[in-house]
Structure formats: structure tokens, C-alpha cells
Structure 1
């Protein structure tokens, strides 16, 4: 009789652990944030592209195009507008890390750009209230409070 009782208890606990494991797997799948369905461009799948003109200290602005790839990579092209002393275009490639949540916005997406050439990381966020806008953050992961534009718009 003891064997039957112990078997029943073991079976009950093992089914509870399996349900917990299944629930955790489902939660993990929900927390993984897919940028968008990828479009094929060359050898990589571009999930989404954002563009706009960001402020520049010694030029008219930095025309910026940021491509976020589905394989956790990115490519950023910058064109320095109105700066005759610089080479107009720079292309930066690197790895990106995507995290869920930003401040009180649990559904926001935080993008951490890690350049291949070991420059400083850059931080951007997409708030859940507007997923067509990528906002550049400062190095303390705060939205830059300025009258200048620090936002890139999603392009198709």
C-alpha cells in the first residue's frame, strides 16, 4: 500500500513540475520580442529600418539610417549634413541586444547597439505607445530631454 501512495505522490509532483516547465517555456516565448517579420535583403534578413536626422554639434545634422536584422545584428549609416571637413558617410556594423521593458513601460523594447569596432554602446527604445518611433537614449539609459529631434521613424 505504501508503494502505491508514494507512487501517487511522485506522479502528482512530477506532473506539477511539467506544468510549471511548460508555463515557463510559454512565458519565455511571450517575452521574446520579435521586431517584425524579416524581409530578405542580400544575405541577411532586415527586420526593420528606421531613419531620420539626429542632432550634430558641429554640422547641420546627421542623416541616420538604422537597419535592425533578425540575426541580432545591425547596420547604421550616417551622413553628416553640411560638414565639408568630414567624410560624408560612415557605416557602422555590430551586434544588438534586445531587452523588454523600459521604466514603467513593461512592453517597451530596449535596443543596445554594440559596434564591432569597440566604440561606445548606443541605446535606443521603442515605447509601447508608438512602435513606429525609435528614440535615442543617453548613456545612462534616459530619454534625452531636448528641443532637438532624437527620434528615428520606421520606414518601409
Structure 2
């Protein structure tokens, strides 16, 4: 009888232990990141070496960004800037294609920048109105 009672208690303990909920995994704001870089045109320097890092959470939602820009004078860096903040992603339809537009600093009109994801491994900087820049210069950043 004692054996059956001990087995029943052990069985209940195992059953209740299996029913306990496991702690949720905390959201990691840097679970994923996309890094784009390239040399963008500059009006008063030889180019802007640019690195844009877009961080996503574990659910693939936009979290934070980091934009590093090095204003070049020949092969020498004239000025370094680093900007950090929030970013968003929204769908953009052009003709029959639908692409993503990434907006950094979406809440700040004066420092907002938009990028069109126009290829698997590239984004293109858009003008202040959110349209492609009509130029022969290269405004694309490529992923690493």
C-alpha cells in the first residue's frame, strides 16, 4: 500500500511540475540586424562613407538604428558623425511592385531620412519627399 501511495505522490508531482509555465524569453532589441554601407555623394567633400545598421527584435519588428557617416576629403576622414534613434518600415507601391521603405527618426521631420529597399541586399536613399533622387550619382547602400 505504501508503494502505491508513494508512486501516486510521485506521479502527481511530475504531472504538476510539467504544468508549470516556463518563464518567457525576454525580448532582445538586438536579436537581428541589417547592416548597409557605401559611399554616398557629397556636395562639398569627396563622398560620405555611410554605414546604416537597422536593429530588429526577435519578432522582426523595427527597434533602433545607428547611422555612421564619415565625410571624406580624398582618402582622409574630414568629419565623423553618429546618429541613433528609432526607425519604421512601411510598404511602398510603385507600379506593380511593392517594396519596403525604411524611415529613420520617423517622429522628427527635420532629421527624418527614408530608404527604399529595392533589392535583397541593397537600399536606396530617397529625397526629403520620399521619392527616388533623379540623378546619375549612386545613392545605394549595400548589405554586408
TM-score range, shorter chain: 0.5 to 0.7
Larger relative helix fraction = 1
Mapped to 1, the partners of 2:109 and 2:128 lie a distance apart of 15
**How far does residue 117 in structure 1 lie from its aligned partner after superposition?**
8.0
Aligned to 1:144: 133
TM-score where L is the length of structure 2: 0.67
Aligned to 2:56: 70
Looking at CA atoms only, which structure, 1 or 2, has the larger radius of gyration? Answer: 2
**How far does residue 89 in structure 1 lie from its aligned partner after superposition?**
1.0
Conservation of the 8 A alpha-carbon contact between 1:112 and 1:124? yes
**How far does residue 143 in structure 1 lie from its aligned partner after superposition?**
0.6
Q: Which secondary structure state, in structure 1, belongs to the residue aligned with residue 111 of structure 2? A: coil
Structure 1 segment 26-65 matched on structure 2, within 5 A: 44-65=30-51
State the superposition RMSD in angstroms: 2.5
Relative to structure 1, the CA distance from residue 105 to residue 98 in structure 2 (aligned partners, 3 Å threshold; closer, same or farther) is farther
Which consecutive segments of 4 or more residues in structure 1 shift more than 4 A? Answer: 115-119
Relative to structure 1, the CA distance from residue 44 to residue 97 in structure 2 (aligned partners, 3 Å threshold; closer, same or farther) is same
Moved more, 112-121 or 46-55: 112-121
TM-score where L is the length of structure 1: 0.62
**How far does residue 46 in structure 1 lie from its aligned partner after superposition?**
4.2
Conservation of the 8 A alpha-carbon contact between 2:72 and 2:78? no
Relative to structure 1, the CA distance from residue 105 to residue 51 in structure 2 (aligned partners, 3 Å threshold; closer, same or farther) is farther
Aligned to 2:121: 132
Mapped to 1, the partners of 2:71 and 2:98 lie a distance apart of 33
Of 53, 77, 91 in structure 1, the residue corresponding to residue 82 of structure 2 is: 91
Structure 2 alignment gaps of length 5 or more: 1-27, 58-62
